[in-house]
Amino acid sequence: MNPSFDRHKALLIIDSVKAYRNEPLDEEMKQRIYDYLVNPTPTAWCDISGIIVNSRMMTVWQAVRKVDPSFPATGRRFEVESGRLLKEWEKIPDPDFVLDAIKQAQDKHLT
């Protein structure tokens, strides 16, 4: 777990997310994001990277890339026939950075 992880801050930010049609995230999506923040792994990042975090259909991954354009634009790659993992994520974002990117996406700093 991230030693500087602020559970209260994380819950406030996650609970405030308004996604498609300005609807809040459902509880399952909130939990998936929270789980990543507590235990950031490549599998958990893959699980949350496509979650929409604002009304402009921006995903968590897109929000991260807006804040840090050097963040990898490609993710995991799998063999089509077998589903075998061929290439892992180059890197995954720090949980605090993910929270900041989500917050900025909500604050309309990212378009």
Tens-digit pLDDT profile for residues 52-107: 999 889 999 999 999 999 999 999 999 999 999 999 999 999 999 999 999 999 88
**Rounded-to-integer distance, Cα 86 and Cα 23, Å:** 36
Please tell me the pTM assigned to this model: 0.88
**Rounded-to-integer distance, Cα 100 and Cα 87, Å:** 27
pLDDT value at 23 more than 70: yes
